[in-house]
Structure 1
């Protein structure tokens, strides 16, 4: 995905994912949502410490472009968990071998965003059983090591381990330097949006899902309203 000037455009980049983006002009400060784009000025993308931190000032009248890589679902099925356990010699879990051939692609670009499809366990307990997912915390370490700056977390498996699973997921991602755009574990916690800075451009990410629980069809519990796009688009150079 490539964004020039202050216009925002989105397209799936990495063969791992399909990500939708909306365009947003920005000449303000404040919030923003989502991820992704391409610009030319110096530096590489670095995620903000948390979505509660004041976003950086948007660039004004500065032509350029940034490249954003985006992947689809990253999800650990039980069979993958077992293979990761064996690869680690029976202690902990090792996932890097699954990404060796694609890591040059996932590390490319100025900003890289994934879709974290499963919850993440702080203590590697209550892990995935078929169609009800929960990945070892080591998975987040690998996702960071192959180049991702953050992930969307709103999806139909977000509540596979309930509110405690949501809290664990966000905690594990933060501990590994990954931004998390998606539902928070409580009404008092801010889950949207998250902000990135890439080569002087301010990028915001929102994360949506048709449902957060496969048992509740079409329920948008805790997910941002679609009109949030209009709310945040004036606060960033690019809104994803």
Structure 2
């Protein structure tokens, strides 16, 4: 992708990075798991659920769940949790040049991507779990750096992603192996070092069989992600990147449920670039995932354009979130726009989780300086590209988002300034 113009043995430091990441997550009160190992909330006792003299009977716990409203909108159930997702993190030359300029101002060494992402913080803070999509492999701290068609971007984008509040990123895309196994490993190492969990690409075959599960205060959330292709490249090992395949994703979801997942999300990297409608593959796979009964939300990225939100058989499908960050395209206005989506899930008296609210915020990338900017009707960052341009982006986004009845089904614009 780009402005489209568009197993291997783990490194010796991989285990150390994993341990460091676990420590960071524990300190944030959010614990993740892979390979079926059950997570514990930070600070909880080490005994297993139901063990020890202080444990209450399972029936009593089920009958009297602890009220957990979660962040975001008012919870219509006893327990709720919210998940925020955004589109492609697509770093081009102009973005790292901006990061160098911002570092010169802030005094940070080398590059500072924080100001580019800062506008997202308010939305992330009002969500229990935030997931990004790391589109491209990263280079070493000093490069060499490159953008389209073979990306090798500054790794400083990753700690900035963590600092603005994300807890996890998906990593499977058509650019994942632009720099081969070395680039894939560098990216996963950098994510681990920053304390960001990840799924979609893997260091080892054993790791590829694991399921990423994140624990929020109210629920255990599994994330399953795959890409439609690799730009004609072949991975060194077939298990290094999850490819888009409905039966394989459903099998992972069933495994996640068996391991205790309350909520399962599917992320699809697929579609036609700059298109405002999903293609046949997107629709076929997304609906097959919903039809399986294993997924609570299906969402996508890759197209560099916002696509419709659809409520299909009671489950939300967000076909494409567009770009989260990218340099401006002079040819495709949709490339410069994106969608931030937050979904609230609630648990009914029977214990079943389902979406109780879906809210979206339209965004645009502006330059001089480069920034992510919300063009929501409440203008939380003030003017972005100008009143007329902002209104046009918001209207264009709404028209596409609601083209399949999302508004009538309950999807709404997220007005973050009106929340506590």
Q: Deviations over 1:162-209 (max 9, x none)?
A: 111111111100111100111113334447421211014111111111
What 5-or-longer segments of structure 2 have no aligned partner?
1-27, 41-48, 50-57, 66-77, 266-420
Aligned to 2:290: none
Residue-pair matches, total: 193
C-alpha contact 2:133 2:169 (8 A) present in aligned 1: yes
C-alpha contact 2:83 2:129 (8 A) present in aligned 1: yes
The whole-number CA distance in structure 2 between the counterparts of 1:73 and 1:45 is: 27
RMSD after superposition: 2.7
Aligned pairs (5 A) from 1:160-171: 160-171=178-189
Pair 1:98-2:116 in alignment: yes
C-alpha contact 1:117 1:155 (8 A) present in aligned 2: yes
Pair 1:239-2:264 in alignment: yes
C-alpha contact 1:137 1:172 (8 A) present in aligned 2: yes
- Structure 1 segments of 4+ aligned residues over 4 angstroms from their partners: 57-60
Aligned pairs (5 A) from 1:1-240: 46-48=30-32, 51-52=34-35, 54-56=37-39, 61=62, 62=65, 63-89=78-104, 91-190=109-208, 192-211=210-229, 213-216=230-233, 221-222=238-239, 223=242, 225-226=248-249, 227-235=251-259, 236-240=261-265
Distance change (3 Å), C-alpha of 1:210 and 1:221: farther
1:87 positional shift: 2.2
The whole-number CA distance in structure 2 between the counterparts of 1:116 and 1:47 is: 20
For normalisation by structure 1, the TM-score amounts to: 0.71
Aligned to 2:296: none
C-alpha contact 2:147 2:153 (8 A) present in aligned 1: no
Q: Deviations over 1:34-81 (max 9, x none)?
A: xxxxxxxxxx86142x62471237997335110111111112112111
Larger-Rg structure = 2
1:88 positional shift: 1.8
- Indicate the larger mover: 75-84 or 173-182: 75-84
C-alpha contact 1:74 1:117 (8 A) present in aligned 2: yes
1:128 positional shift: 2.3
C-alpha contact 1:85 1:93 (8 A) present in aligned 2: yes
- Indicate the larger mover: 108-117 or 182-191: 182-191
Aligned to 2:13: none
Q: Deviations over 1:195-234 (max 9, x none)?
A: 21101411111111111x21249xx942162232233233
